Amino acid sequence: MKLLIQSVNFDATEKLEAYINKKIKKRERIFDDIMTMNMYLKVVKPETVSNKQAEIKATAPGVEFFASKTCDTFEEAIDLGLTAIEKQVLKYKKKSAKK
């Protein structure tokens, strides 16, 4: 799987990128069909408590999955976003298996 991490208007730390890679590695068995995953991280204006946004777009053959979460921290937004993508992938696999 090809992973692209883009941070908008800030520089993502190595620690944050390592965190993302670790979380995706844990889900590799579920994300086995996904060819590319694009992750867009940005700080939403105005400055409020929940202003860290993670948008995740995952592409598999013939289908795209998308999740966008805004939370207090990027880690929390990433966790919730990946969980949403995971649910979409599992639902798609279950639906495809019935055909």
Give the Cα-Cα-Cα angle 67, 70, 71 (nearest 5 degrees): 130
4-41 pLDDT tens trace: 999 988 888 999 999 999 999 988 888 888 999 999 99
Residue 11 lies in a domain: yes
- In the chain, how many domains are there? 1
Say what the pLDDT of residue 53 is.
94
Model's pTM, two decimal places? 0.90
Q: Provide the residue range defining the domain that includes 36.
A: 2-94
- Whether 99 is in a domain gets the answer no
Per-residue pLDDT tens digits for 45-71: 877 778 899 999 999 998 999 999 999
What distance in Å separates the CA atoms of residue 54 and residue 48, rounded to the nearest whole number? 16
Within-domain flag for 73: yes
**pLDDT digits 0-9 by tens, 73-99:** 999 999 999 999 999 999 998 988 876
Half-sphere exposure of 79 (CA within 13 A, CB side): 7
pLDDT of residue 97: 82
Q: Read off the CATH number of the domain in which 45 is found.
A: 3.30.160.100
- Token code pair at residue 6: 């883009």
